[in-house]
Amino acid sequence: MKKRSRMVIAISVILIAVFGLYIFQSQRYRNTYLPRTDVAGVDVGGKTEAQANQLLQTHFKQQKFTLVEGDKKLLSFTGETAGVNPDFSQKLTSLKQQQNPWSWPLHLLTGTSTAQASKSLKVDQTTFDQFVKQTATQLNKGRSASKNATVTKQNNNFVISKAVTGNHLNTEQLEATIRTGLAASDGQIAVKTAYAKPTVTADSARLKQAVTKLEKIHNENITYTINGNKVTVPKATIYGWETFTNGKVSLDEAKVRAYVASLSKQYSTINKDRQFKSTKSGTVTVPAGTYGWSIDTASETTTLMAKVLEGKDFTRTPVIQGVGYTTDKSDIGTTYIEVDKTNQHMWYYRDGELVLDTDVVTGKPGQDTPSGVDFIWNKQQDSTLKGTNDDGSAYASPVDYWMPVDYTGVGIHDASWQPTFGGDWYKTHGSHGCVNTPPTTMAKLYSLVSTGTPVIIF
């Protein structure tokens, strides 16, 4: 009987001890985490919130991470180097509120684990950005960039070249990869997901449309009519203009401009000497003057490019600047004023018929009337011509009729102060460069001539 009593007492003591231990531990886990509590791969069991948070901060700052590419280790660093500045306080508080301190015995068997630390693993953005930028620069040395599929020229045709996948790392993608990898418990971060992959492949509908458009442009029939000449733009020239840049069909402006400039050089008349059949001196060579035209290269280039990109056949006359443009290659034409300095005489022809002629006085030696093919660009009545005499004194000569022919002050006007015209009078009493004309004749000429009329001086 005594033996049974002692056994009962022993069992009771053990039960009381176990129950006491259970109560003691349950009270302890009111302020600490249950055993085998895992947060982001770190065991915080038995730790207070502050202790757990400090443990997690230390762990992730000191944790070693390695960037890997397949089996190759590229770079190792610590969380602190990458600017890791974790704060698990919110997660830990939530976890603490959810746990039941009386369930600690069950926790010894099952444990609990939270999700990865991606939301709690904060970083100092400035430090992190600088780290990623430096890492990308370091790792990309010697790497090949991916290339998008594109349209290229080949054997006078257009073909779609395939995309090429390289191993160059995209900085933004690398940043996202490392940012996610910092929360991984194993510390291994694979950079393969950060490759800058091609964004356009060979089956792109946009590329196929571009090829169609380029071929259409290549086969355009483009014709120019220039001063009575018909010029067909060679298809090889059009092909040379075509480009496909940044996903867009366009033209090489420099090449188009060069072509337009070549047309202007070949067909324009500005700044070119002329062979002129004169009234008394036979065929003479007259230097270039103010008369003539050229293609406005800048405007025509812009207009031509726009027309070509429409993909349709067209014929056009280029944008012209200057005077004297015709459609029959006649240049000077049959209406003009002729000034023969050797014979000191002037003629006015209209539609090939002589309308008026007169002796004149041109510039005296040293102040010769400049030779050239010019034109009447303005007409004024009652003007005062001003300039400087040989002795340096200023002069001001009123005239009734004034028709400038160049842009230096040379023109045709009446000269009431001249007692005679023609002959050798100009050698000692010549003008300062203008064509002095008898007043009565000048009045008639002024009434007959319109602006734009060519003036051939030789």
Residue 118 or residue 368, greater confidence: 368
Tokens 């050229």, residue located: 294
pLDDT at 351 over 70: yes
Instruction: Indicate the pLDDT class of residue 16, thresholds 50, 70 and 90.
Output: low
pLDDT at 39 over 90: no
pLDDT at 67 over 80: yes
pLDDT at 292 over 90: yes
CA dist 160 and 154 (Å) reads: 10
pLDDT at 391: 76
pTM of the model: 0.70
The secondary element (H helix, E strand) that includes residue 417 is: none
pLDDT at 12 over 70: no
pLDDT at 95 over 50: yes
Average pLDDT over residues 78-82: 92
Across 1-5, 358-362, 378-382, least confident range: 1-5
Instruction: Indicate the pLDDT class of residue 18, thresholds 50, 70 and 90.
Output: low
pLDDT at 349 over 70: yes
Rounded (10°) CA dihedral 118, 137, 173, 195: -130
Q: Between the CA of residue 174 and those of 98, 131, 181, 196, what are the distances in Å? A: 36, 11, 10, 9
pLDDT digits (tens, 9 = 90+) for 220-236: 999 999 999 999 999 99
Instruction: Indicate the pLDDT class of residue 417, thresholds 50, 70 and 90.
Output: very high
pLDDT at 122 over 50: yes
pLDDT at 101: 76
- Contact (CB, 8 A) for 34 and 107: yes
CA dist 158 and 204 (Å) reads: 15
pLDDT digits (tens, 9 = 90+) for 294-316: 999 999 999 999 999 999 999 99
Please give the full DSSP string across 21-63, using - where no structure is assigned: HHHHHHHHTTTSPPTTEEETTEE-TT--HHHHHHHHHHHHHH-
CA dist 401 and 438 (Å) reads: 11
pLDDT at 115 over 50: no
- The residues assigned a catalytic role are 413, 434
